[in-house]
Structure 1
Amino acid sequence: MSWNPLYEQSYVPYSSNKHACVVESKSGKCYAGVRIENISYPLTIPAAQAACAICLSEGEIPAKIYTEDPSSEQLDYWGKEFELEVIETNNPSQDKLEDLFHPSKKDFEVLPRLKTLLDNAVTPNSDFPVSAILFTEDGYFEGVNVEVSAWTHGICAERVAISKAFAAGRTEFTRLEVHTRKGEISSPCGACRQVISELLPYHDIVLHHSDGTQSEHLSLDLLPFSFKSSALKK
């Protein structure tokens, strides 16, 4: 298997710089990440960040990272953070990635599942776990927030779920549901709202609050006057 199928899952409308990588956990499971750009450039999710965060969100510890470009964005940080073995290859293993391309389809009650997912959150700094489930036309992807030593390289639950979906080639989203057990309301942060406004612009966002109530919103309404400049180079 070449990198091309994974590269094609990248969302790179501004740079056309497609990139992907694969993280292998200490238990031998593999997780793919692809580059997901945002019109607000600093919110772009590098492939290495996506793959490592997805691995951590599944309760696994990254051990190796496979890439075609060892100088790719954030790879140095993640390699040092987890003492990863960086393996340069032009032939990622198909069999280890097979399960990644199929979204979950099991029937379940959303709120109980969101509550269970909170236990997977990696929050050594904030102790503020968040869970999210992103529904697509043929299944769903789960996410929790992941914090690491460099606060700026942590990533929210909503974006972990989005990263999983893109790595699996699923971009036809239907709705996003979010839950936190702490705080007055469950609400995507400003950064997530910017990402959501671009990737899920007219979608239902269901927020399950810590007091047992819930509210539903149109994603477009979560961030009035979001950055949509047509002046950017494309």
Structure 2
Amino acid sequence: MSWKPLYENSYVPYSSDKEACVVESKSGKYYAGVRIENISYPLTIPAVQAACAICLSEGEIPAKIYIQDSSSEQLDYWVGEFNLEIIETKDPPVEDLEDLYNASQENLDVLSRLKSLLDKAVAPNSDFPVSAILFTEDGYFEGVNVEVSAWTHGICAERVAISKAFVAGYTEFTRLEVHTRKGEISSPCGACRQVISELLPYHDIILHHSDGTQSEHLTLDLLPFSFKSSALKR
């Protein structure tokens, strides 16, 4: 497989700078990431961050990173964090995109699955695990929050699920469900709300709260007056 299919799954409406990479875990499994931009530029998810966070969310430890461009954003941080071996290559180490992520089509009890996912969260700093399931017409993608030594390079459960979906080529979603076992309510943080409002603007978001109740919202209503500008490229 060439890099082209991965690069094409980048979401880069503002810069047009497509970006992709593949991380190999210590156990030999592969996890890819693509660049996902946001109109609030600092919330952009670089490909390296996406791939490493997805790897960690699956209970794996990154060991190697395959890239075509050594200038990839955040590369130095993640290489230093996990002592990654950098491998520059003309082709990624996978045969097909389907070898990476597919929308799961299993029938599931959503709340039970969200609860079990919390045990996969990587939250050594906050001790506040969060899980999310993002649904498409074909199935769903799961995510948990991932924290690392540089707090600003951690990534929330909602954005891990979104990162998996984009790598697999999905850009159309039906709903998002979120759960935490602690706190008064389960609710996406402000950063996630900005990302969600751009990528899932008129979708249902179902919040499963720690007290056993749940609430349903329209994603756009979670962030009134979210940042938008016709002056930015898109």
* SS in structure 2 at match of 1:95: coil
Residues 178, 207 of structure 1: 8 Å contact kept = yes
What percentage of residue pairs aligned between the two structures are identical? 85
Offset of 1:96 from its aligned partner? 7.3
Partner AA of 2:52 in structure 1:
C
Name structure 1 gaps, 5 residues minimum: none
Residues 114, 132 of structure 1: 8 Å contact kept = yes
Name structure 2 gaps, 5 residues minimum: none
Residues 145, 160 of structure 2: 8 Å contact kept = yes
Count of matched residue pairs: 234
Aligned counterparts of 1:137 and 1:171: Cα–Cα separation in 2? 11
Partner AA of 2:30 in structure 1:
C
- Map of 2:199 onto structure 1: 199
1:97-108 to structure 2, matched below 5 A, reads: 98-108=98-108
* SS in structure 2 at match of 1:191: helix
Partner AA of 1:113 in structure 2:
R
* SS in structure 1 at match of 2:171: coil
Aligned counterparts of 1:186 and 1:117: Cα–Cα separation in 2? 14
Aligned counterparts of 1:94 and 1:31: Cα–Cα separation in 2? 10
Residues 143, 157 of structure 2: 8 Å contact kept = yes
Residues 101, 169 of structure 1: 8 Å contact kept = no
* SS in structure 2 at match of 1:94: coil
Offset of 1:98 from its aligned partner? 3.3
Aligned counterparts of 1:210 and 1:182: Cα–Cα separation in 2? 6
- Map of 1:9 onto structure 2: 9
Offset of 1:70 from its aligned partner? 1.1
Q: Which moved more, 1:89-98 or 1:45-54?
A: 89-98
Query: Are 1:113 and 2:113 matched, yes or no?
Result: yes
- Map of 1:209 onto structure 2: 209
Partner AA of 1:215 in structure 2:
S
CA RMSD between the two structures = 0.9
Residues 31, 97 of structure 1: 8 Å contact kept = no
Partner AA of 1:46 in structure 2:
P
- Map of 1:227 onto structure 2: 227
* SS in structure 2 at match of 1:50: helix
Partner AA of 1:92 in structure 2:
P
* SS in structure 2 at match of 1:134: strand
1:150-161 to structure 2, matched below 5 A, reads: 150-161=150-161
Offset of 1:95 from its aligned partner? 3.0
Q: Which moved more, 1:93-102 or 1:138-147?
A: 93-102
TM-score (norm 2): 0.98
Residues 25, 61 of structure 1: 8 Å contact kept = yes
Inter-CA distance 95–20: structure 2 relative to 1 (3 Å threshold): same
Partner AA of 2:169 in structure 1:
G
1:156-171 to structure 2, matched below 5 A, reads: 156-171=156-171
Residues 97, 168 of structure 2: 8 Å contact kept = no
* SS in structure 1 at match of 2:163: helix
* SS in structure 2 at match of 1:173: coil
* SS in structure 2 at match of 1:160: helix
Residues 29, 96 of structure 1: 8 Å contact kept = no
Partner AA of 1:74 in structure 2:
Q
Partner AA of 2:187 in structure 1:
S
- Map of 1:95 onto structure 2: 95
Per-residue deviation, residues 53-77 of structure 1 (Å, max 9, x unmatched): 0000000000000000111100110
Aligned counterparts of 1:57 and 1:49: Cα–Cα separation in 2? 12
Per-residue deviation, residues 154-204 of structure 1 (Å, max 9, x unmatched): 000000000000000011100000000000000000000000000000000
Aligned counterparts of 2:191 and 2:134: Cα–Cα separation in 1? 17
Aligned counterparts of 2:221 and 2:168: Cα–Cα separation in 1? 28
